[in-house]
Structure formats: C-alpha cells, structure tokens
Amino acid sequence: MIENTFDTFLEQFNFSESEINNMAPLVLAYIGDAVYEVFIRTLLISEGNIPVHKLHKRSIEYVKAKAQSDIIHRIMEKLNPDELNVVRRGRNAKSGTIPKNADVGEYKYATGFESLIGYLYLRRDNHRLMEVLKMAISEE
C-alpha cells in the first residue's frame, strides 16, 4: 500500500526529455545535490549503527566540492556525450556564491557532477544513475 502511494507520488513528476534538457544546469545541480546526499547517507547508515555526528563527518568527505570535483575528473572518460554536455553546462553555469572551503575550479566541477546526478535522476534513468553513483564511491 505505501509503495503504491510512493509510485503515485512519483508519477506527478514526469518531466519530458525536452523539459529536462531545457532546465538550467543549476536547477539540475540543485536536485542532484539532494539525490547524492541521500545516496551517501544511505550508504553510510548501511555500514552499521554509528553516532550521527560521526555520520555527518564521514558524509562531508563525500559531498564536499573537492571530493565531487575529484569524482567527475575520475569518471569523465566513462560518460557518454550527452552526460559530458550536462557536466560541461553545470561546470560553466554562473553561480552567485562560492563556498568558503572550496576553490572556484573545484566548485565548478562539483556543480557539473551534481548537474549530472540531477539529470539522470529526473530522466528516471535509474540504472545509469546507480552506475555513476557506484563509480563515484569506488576508488578506481
């Protein structure tokens, strides 16, 4: 019953390919940031019952701009042309602010990574989204 309710909820948010392709890259990054954060939090709690402050400290290592910048540089050659275009658009987007603890280049590439995650999520390309997320957490 609950599963059906969630499916019904998700059906309200069917974006066309055209709508997704026309979204501002910072909008894709906005939703991508949330999706990646939930993925990392779920990953961390799957490792056992850990105090919340330790979970938070560990999650920062994955979600900070430098980490995301490193990820996108590491996986870039495994992305298809459409995905590379989304990353490029995200990287080149004009953001109003830069976080205190990141340099501009890292922040731009992190935004590209988050844009990619948002793009795959909104397209409901769950298989590819999980491939990219697994690449993100692997050391290869």
Q: CA–CA separation, 106 vs 24, rounded Å?
A: 20
Active site residue 33: yes
Looking at residue 65, its pLDDT comes to 93
Q: CA–CA separation, 113 vs 40, rounded Å?
A: 14
The catalytically annotated residue of 33, 70, 82, 103 is 33
Residue 107 phi/psi, 5-degree rounding, is: -65, -40
Q: Which residue has the higher pLDDT, 93 or 10?
A: 93
pTM reported for the whole predicted model: 0.90
- Answer yes or no: is pLDDT of 87 > 80: yes
Confidence of residue 69 (pLDDT cuts 50, 70, 90): very high
pLDDT digits (tens, 9 = 90+) for 8-65: 766 778 889 999 999 999 999 999 999 999 999 999 999 888 899 999 999 999 999 9
Q: CA–CA separation, 88 vs 122, rounded Å?
A: 18
